[in-house]
Structure 1
Amino acid sequence: MSSNLFKATVNQYLEDLPKPVQSKLYEAPATCLSIYRLLSPMAKFYIMSMIFNEKLVAVRDLNKWCKPSAKKLEFEALKRLESLHLIEYDARGTHIRLNSTFRKNFRDSLTGSQDPNAFGSVSTAVDKHAVDIAFLDSFATQKWESILHFMVGTEGTQPPSKSVLSLLRLGGLMEGHGGDRDDGDDASNITNTGFQFLLQDVNAQIWTLLLQYLNLTQELNMNPVDVLNFIFILGSLELGNSYSVSSLSETQISMLADLKDYGLVYQRTNSSSRFYPTRLATTLTSDSAALKTPAMAIQQAVDESEASSISSSANVQESVIIETNFKIYAYTNSPLEIAILNLFVQMKTRFANMVCGQITRESVRNALYNGITADQIIKFLETHAHPQMRALAQERLDKKVEFDASHNINTAGGAPQSKTNGAISQHRLEVLPPNVVDQIKLWQLELDRIQTFDGYLFKDFANQQEYEILSSYAIELGVLIWSDKLKRKFFVTKDGMSQVADFANRKLR
């Protein structure tokens, strides 16, 4: 999922920061809470297991907390925590403890013992120009969609601000010299990376630009710790509240104008004493969906009782229907939605509120050449599928489960089996026609006849038992790519090499 992808990308950025910068970040409770939210479930489990424990924890005890089948998750979680310097090993490497600064401030954020302004200073003065959540959603949607419209080249779209254009080019999403001219005649073109960007969810898109913004902090003479802390604070603020500018640093105050261009905050004027975070900001570090734009989750039903969480572009439910003959019908009149579909669909007819097209080999290959993967296309179609397609898929799934359950009862002499056992648990909801999904993947395989992997080859084992022990461990970690039992050789991923080598040193030497 793209949500996992952007979390991994943000974590990678944090891991690459110098240790002094990381330590400085952990002095802010809001940052500690946000970084915790970005961790994997296994890493969160380790954090919570040690947060109120002042003593060292034995590494062998950590191994007992996980099932043998979760070795890969355990390794990745500990590696990430170590890279972020959230855990520290003792001199012998047999015990670990939490980073003391992180422990104190994260514990304070959990117990409510932090500084009153740690999560922003709520403005108590009456705002003569107060705005509600519906206005904030509308503002954020308009700002963000203007960027996406510009990227796909929608006619009549005004170019975004120069700061946004520079980030699009810096991130490799657009190419050209747009933004350097003030006449509005922009010459930027979308890149292969930009095509992939359009198919991501809003949170991933926001973080893509924010990471490029963070890369510019040194050139702009901005304190990276202040910038990161403010971004993480925004992810912890409450939607609909206004916050005082007086509690911000100079760096953070200068950020408000840029963040307003992205739709993350609303400030009536640049000199206003308060600002409002939008939904794009408050969902930065959470798993909650950001604003509903025409390019995102158009199949979700609109709940009238939650009108405050609906953007202005979601007044009409838009849906996509795919038939087994690869014909596609999209109920939308959004130029942005049509432009995105046009990336991998051959459009045939356009009506007032619907477009018709065909998924063809050529249209999919064009998308593949532009850097879009088959999985991204399939995920996009599943996300945008018509509710009726989901209902039919659920009906088919229920029938399969019911049939298998009755079949197992008959073959077992009347003894019922749990629906979570056997083949029944292997069934999954197939929203799209299986032949369409398989064919899209096959069209990609036509271009991916040879795959390359970076990694390491293990060979020259002393005996067959030694080979079996190490190869089995590599399989448990999920890092084994290829093996030959007769020649006693196996190949592991680049990341898995150190773990397998450490295991070999401990067990075999």
Structure 2
Amino acid sequence: MSSNLFKATVNEHLESLPESMQSRLYEAPATCLSIYRLLPPIAKFFIMSMLFSERPVLLRDLDKWCKPGTRKVQFESLKRLKSLHLVLEDKLGTYITLHPTFRKNFRACLTGSQQANAFGNLANDSADDNAGVTISFLDSFALNKWETILHFMVGTDSTPTPSASVLSLLRSGGLMETSASEDISGLRISNTGFQFLLQDSNAQIWTILLEYLKISEELNMDPVDVLNFIFILGSLELGKGYIVSSLSTTQQNMLADLKDYGLIYQKSSGSGKFYPTRLATTLTSDSVALKSPAMAIEDANNQADSDSAAAVAAAASTADSSSSSGSIILETNFKLYAYTNSPLEIAILNLFVQLKTRFANMVCGQVTRESIRKALYNGITSQQIIKFLETHAHPQLKILAREKLDKKIEFDTNNNINTAGGAPQSQQQRNEASASHRLEILPPTVVDQIKLWQLELDRIQTFEGYLFKDFASQQEYDVLSNYASEIGVLIWADKGKKKFFITEQGKSQVVDFANRKLQR
């Protein structure tokens, strides 16, 4: 799945916080760094451009900082910065400045002038204390804890029951629900839980952590303290131990729960040292959270020569069963083959694939209209299914897709050169030729059909927004509708009737633009 999914989820939560709580978050340098990592590229560019300048910036000057045609992403980035109150406007809405607390602490992060304990206090290395606590041990511990939760959700036989705190989160988050009985045996996966299983590991972890934040508020724990500790964990070094006594009381109370989720390892509840796992250190990055031997095999396969198909197939058949990465082959006839014996992956595939045959190290099935509709009724979207299949596609499929894409780009480049009379292409033209093509890991016919099966159910869509009409002239209509389209808030337009409809969030931007342009 795309890393944008978990970033969007976290940003939505941060944007919903009161301004006073956001300002308290910016008092922690590690939190400033983590929030910066979660921002889109243009938002990062705006921050870095203003970070070392104390002068306010004219709002209309932002258009000069970006290339033409980027108004949509510029609008979205500025909207996010305003929601997080990272940029503040003056009363007239003419100038913007960086939040002073954020500016101070983020600048301290980049220059290394933050407090010594801003990113945790490292414990003294001792051979006795660190015996057996290696990176591979931490990866194994985190993988075991996290997959125990996922196995329990899909109902894998002989799966140990997670701790009471984990079960409480699964219930309160709507990932699992109880039937007639209220005991553990009555818990079953919900529609939301089905969607949860198809997300990538980072998105799943943040889903759990955001639900933990809600529960912590009910337990009168300081949400800012909880969030700061989560963001600090994302900045710690994997394989290193950190002192428990340097944490606040709230943060020390969190350690037992975070150990149940696999985010930290602590030898005992009274130990004075804790170790962040890879699940924690990748919280705000694009890196893969769960690292297993099978992932290392896949990385090696991706670097191998494309002719070594036999080696790729052998690696797939011997891949560690604890990982669901890089094992799926989908054919144009909708047949699916998955080189796995993992009950977890098989259970997830069964959500949207009609499984027919199971071997020692492989399962076979068919993607059908009925299997996809069953998934759609359970709340899973076609895009989630496609992303899951792309993410877990066999390495050989990715190699072949890359070769096919390179050939298309080379063909278009040569064709354009011949059209131009043999004139060499500029780097921009080559980049445009590359951008016009998409890496097709899955067969396009299958992808399109899955989308069409969802469209059969999605006949009507509703949007909340504003209708603009009664324009004085056609030119006035064209100027505003084109601007709304450029910033990505236009939903519907009728040029003949001089009417268009925009999203609720885009109203203020379009009205401000109208006041500036039409008054001239």
Structure 1 unaligned spans of 5+: 305-310
Residue of 156, 160, 163 corresponding to 1:161: 163
Q: What is the rounded CA distance, in whole Å, between the counterparts of 1:77 and 1:384 in structure 2? A: 30
8 A contact 2:326–2:395 mirrored in 1: no
Which residue of the partner structure matches residue 132 of structure 1? 134
Q: What is the rounded CA distance, in whole Å, between the counterparts of 2:502 and 2:300 in structure 1? A: 45
Q: What is the rounded CA distance, in whole Å, between the counterparts of 2:452 and 2:324 in structure 1? A: 35
Report the alpha carbon displacement of residue 407 of structure 1 after superposing the two structures with TM.
Answer: 3.2
Report the alpha carbon displacement of residue 402 of structure 1 after superposing the two structures with TM.
Answer: 3.3
Q: What is the rounded CA distance, in whole Å, between the counterparts of 2:32 and 2:341 in structure 1? A: 43
**Identity rate of aligned residues, in percent?**
71
Q: What is the rounded CA distance, in whole Å, between the counterparts of 1:49 and 1:179 in structure 2? A: 58
Report the alpha carbon displacement of residue 251 of structure 1 after superposing the two structures with TM.
Answer: 0.3
SS of 1:248 mapped into structure 2: coil
Report the alpha carbon displacement of residue 104 of structure 1 after superposing the two structures with TM.
Answer: 1.0
Which residue of the partner structure matches residue 83 of structure 1? 83
Report the alpha carbon displacement of residue 299 of structure 1 after superposing the two structures with TM.
Answer: 5.5
Residue of 484, 491, 503 corresponding to 2:513: 503
SS of 2:337 mapped into structure 1: strand
SS of 2:456 mapped into structure 1: helix
1:114-153 Cα distance to aligned partner (Å, 9 max, x none): 1111100000152524200000000000000000101111
Which residue of the partner structure matches residue 395 of structure 1? 403
Residue of 463, 474, 490 corresponding to 1:464: 474
8 A contact 1:177–1:186 mirrored in 2: no
Q: What is the rounded CA distance, in whole Å, between the counterparts of 1:94 and 1:373 in structure 2? A: 42
SS of 1:186 mapped into structure 2: helix
Report the alpha carbon displacement of residue 217 of structure 1 after superposing the two structures with TM.
Answer: 1.8
Which residue of the partner structure matches residue 368 of structure 2? 360
Structure 2 unaligned spans of 5+: 304-318
Which residue of the partner structure matches residue 314 of structure 2? none
Alignment of 1:439-454 (within 5 A): 439-454=449-464
Q: How many residues align?
A: 500
Matched, 1:257 2:253: no
Report the alpha carbon displacement of residue 399 of structure 1 after superposing the two structures with TM.
Answer: 2.9
Report the alpha carbon displacement of residue 50 of structure 1 after superposing the two structures with TM.
Answer: 1.1
CA RMSD in angstroms comes to 2.4
SS of 2:491 mapped into structure 1: strand
8 A contact 1:298–1:317 mirrored in 2: no
Which residue of the partner structure matches residue 476 of structure 1? 486
| Residues 448, 299 of structure 1: alpha-carbon distance in 2 compared, 3 angstrom cutoff | farther
1:445-468 Cα distance to aligned partner (Å, 9 max, x none): 111122222221111111111111
1:390-448 Cα distance to aligned partner (Å, 9 max, x none): 22222322333333334334444333445626766422221111211111111111111
Report the alpha carbon displacement of residue 323 of structure 1 after superposing the two structures with TM.
Answer: 1.3
Which residue of the partner structure matches residue 330 of structure 1? 338
Which residue of the partner structure matches residue 313 of structure 2? none
Report the alpha carbon displacement of residue 92 of structure 1 after superposing the two structures with TM.
Answer: 2.9
8 A contact 1:298–1:319 mirrored in 2: no
More moved, 64-73 vs 99-108: 64-73
1:400 maps to a residue whose letter is: K
1:387 maps to a residue whose letter is: P
1:123 maps to a residue whose letter is: A
Q: What is the rounded CA distance, in whole Å, between the counterparts of 2:326 and 2:391 in structure 1? A: 12
| Residues 65, 406 of structure 1: alpha-carbon distance in 2 compared, 3 angstrom cutoff | closer
Which residue of the partner structure matches residue 33 of structure 2? 33
Q: What is the rounded CA distance, in whole Å, between the counterparts of 1:187 and 1:72 in structure 2? A: 47
Which residue of the partner structure matches residue 487 of structure 1? 497
Residue of 297, 312, 327 corresponding to 1:319: 327
8 A contact 2:324–2:392 mirrored in 1: no
8 A contact 2:292–2:323 mirrored in 1: no
Residue of 395, 398, 413 corresponding to 1:405: 413
Report the alpha carbon displacement of residue 476 of structure 1 after superposing the two structures with TM.
Answer: 0.7
Which residue of the partner structure matches residue 104 of structure 1? 104
8 A contact 2:195–2:379 mirrored in 1: yes
Report the alpha carbon displacement of residue 96 of structure 1 after superposing the two structures with TM.
Answer: 1.8
Alignment of 1:65-76 (within 5 A): 65-76=65-76
Which residue of the partner structure matches residue 145 of structure 2? 143
Q: What is the rounded CA distance, in whole Å, between the counterparts of 1:298 and 1:453 in structure 2? A: 46
1:401 maps to a residue whose letter is: I
TM-score by length of structure 2 reads: 0.91
8 A contact 1:298–1:318 mirrored in 2: no
